[in-house]
């Protein structure tokens, strides 16, 4: 029986074909199926064991059959098998790329000097080397034409272009991801919709201590010009997000409100500035000027 390939080629090839097919047919999102589903791992392990099992069975059948052969047939079988292990195509390719002369033909290329028994072969340059050399020449011509005659983009220009594209992408992303704001980047919101949303959040969470008109109770008056923790959208955002001084009762609202909501309620608080609350609490803190 003549084998066309060795087991160490057959097993991995079949294994990876099966793996490839499984990955192709099982939709597992961005991660490979074998990492997403445990069953796929078990399945592939099963396939591997199955392949090894088949190889073992084939091997033992061959073994048994071998012993039934006559001595002469056994010898022929062994010879055929040895041949099957050789890979004529690769061998041929190798010989062509290295261009070495077989030892038996070295006499043709030996140079006729002889220094104390040391002789020299006039080997040609190995073809793989010359091909590589020709490839660099072709590359150089294309490169020269592209960058020095037709003024292709150089790396600095490519870099700047990519940065500009990324900047646009960041802007677009920021528009959709409003929750990216923090105390450093927040801007006062003036949209009626934002102020209205801020009012709803204020009425739901803050009136117990600041009163519904912001006049103050347990918490300070939010409508006057005096701020304990600093006025302006950035400070107010920071106070609402991180809370007041320890033990005063103003908690860190970032636990329960999203950044965008904090921006809305902070903007609402600042929109209360200057109104006259029903029961204004006396000013606390320092006079704040923008």
Query: Residue 127 interacts with ligand HEC (CB under 6 A)?
Result: no
Shorter beta-carbon distance to ligand HEC: residue 33 or 206: 206
Nearer to ligand HEC, 19 or 216 (CB): 216
Residue closest to ligand HEC, measured at CB: 244
DSSP labels, 60-93 = HHHHHHHHHS-HHHHHHHHHHHHHHHS-HHHHHH
Q: Does 229 bind ligand HEC (CB under 6 A)?
A: yes
Residue 108 structure tokens? 């043709």
- Residue 22 vs 266, nearer CB to ligand HEC: 266
The residues pairing with 121 across neighbouring beta strands, listed in sequence order, are 110
Give the nearest distance from C-beta 274 to ligand HEC in angstroms.
15
With binding defined as CB under 6 A, does residue 209 bind ligand HEC? yes
Q: Which run of H or of E encompasses 100?
A: none
- Sorted by sequence, the CB contacts under 8 Å of residue 233 that are 6+ apart come out as 186, 187, 188, 263, 266, 267, 270
- Across the chain, the runs of DSSP E, i.e. the strands, are 226-227, 286-287
Comparison of 40 and 262: residue with beta carbon closer to ligand HEC: 262
The total number of residues shown for the chain amounts to 290
Q: Is 263 in the site for ligand HEC (CB under 6 A)?
A: no
- The alpha helices in 86-154, defined as continuous H runs, are 88-98, 127-143
DSSP helix/strand/coil, 133? helix
- Residue nearer to ligand HEC on the CB measure, 219 or 277: 219
Site size with ligand HEC, rule: CB under 6 A = 25
User: Which residues have C-beta within 8 Å of that of residue 195, sequence separation ≥ 6?
Assistant: 189, 264, 267, 268, 271
Of 73, 218, 275, 287, the one binding ligand HEC (CB under 6 A) is 218
The residue within the footprint of ligand HEC, chosen from 186, 189, 210, 223 (CB under 6 A), is: 210
Comparing CB distances to ligand HEC, the nearer of 48 and 209 is 209
Contact 284, 222 (CB under 8 A): no
**Binding of ligand HEC by 260 (CB under 6 A):** no
Closer to ligand HEC at the Cβ: 33 or 211? 211
| Under 8 Å between Cβ of 223 and 282 | no
- In the bound complex, what is the minimum distance in angstroms from residue 228's beta carbon to ligand HEC? 4
Q: Is residue 211 close enough to count as binding ligand HEC by CB under 6 A? A: no
Element (DSSP H or E) covering residue 188: none
Q: What span, in angstroms and rounded, lies between the C-alpha atoms of 63 and 226? A: 97
- Please tell me whether residue 197 binds ligand HEC under the rule CB under 6 A: no
Q: Which stretch binds ligand HEC (CB under 6 A): 11-19, 121-129, 172-180, 203-211?
A: 203-211
Provide the mask over 235-254, with x wherever binding to ligand HEC is found by CB under 6 A and - wherever it is not: -x--xx---xx--xxx--x-
Burial track 190-203 (b if 16+ CB lie within 10 A, e otherwise)? eeeebbebbbebbe
Q: Tokens standing for 21?
A: 């097919």
Q: Which is nearer to ligand HEC, 109 or 208 (CB)?
A: 208
In the complex, the smallest distance separating the C-beta of residue 30 from ligand HEC, rounded to whole angstroms, is 38
Interface contacts to ligand HEC, rule CB under 6 A: 202, 205-206, 208-210, 218-220, 222, 227-229, 236, 239-240, 244-245, 248-250, 253, 265, 269, 285
């Amino acid at each position: 029986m003549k084998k066309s390939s060795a087991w160490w080629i057959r097993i991995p090839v079949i294994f990876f074909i099966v793996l490839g097919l499984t990955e192709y047919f099982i939709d597992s999102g961005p991660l490979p199926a074998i990492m997403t589903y445990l069953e796929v791992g078990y399945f592939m392990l099963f396939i591997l064991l199955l392949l090894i099992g088949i190889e073992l069975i084939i091997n033992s059948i061959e073994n048994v059959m071998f012993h039934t052969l006559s001595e002469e047939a056994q010898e022929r079988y062994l010879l055929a098998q040895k041949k099957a292990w050789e890979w004529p195509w690769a061998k041929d390719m190798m010989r062509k790329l290295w261009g070495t002369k077989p030892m038996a033909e070295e006499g043709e290329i030996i140079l006729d000097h002889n220094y104390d028994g040391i002789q020299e072969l006039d080997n040609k340059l190995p073809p793989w080397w010359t091909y590589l050399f020709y490839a660099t020449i072709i590359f150089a011509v294309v490169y020269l034409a592209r960058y020095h005659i037709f003024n292709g983009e150089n790396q600095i220009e490519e870099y700047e272009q990519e940065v500009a594209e990324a900047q646009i992408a960041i802007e677009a992303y920021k528009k959709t991801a409003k929750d990216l704001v923090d105390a450093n980047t927040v801007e006062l919101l003036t949209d009626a919709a934002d102020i209205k949303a801020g009012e709803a959040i204020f009425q739901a969470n803050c009136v117990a201590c600041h009163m519904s008109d912001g006049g103050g109770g347990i918490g300070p008056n939010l409508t006057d010009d005096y701020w304990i923790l600093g006025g302006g959208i950035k400070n107010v955002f920071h106070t609402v997000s991180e809370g007041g001084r320890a033990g005063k009762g103003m908690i860190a609202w970032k636990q329960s409100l999203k950044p965008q909501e904090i921006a809305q309620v902070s903007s609402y608080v600042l929109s209360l500035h200057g109104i006259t609350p029903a029961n204004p609490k006396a000013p606390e803190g320092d006079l704040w000027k923008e």
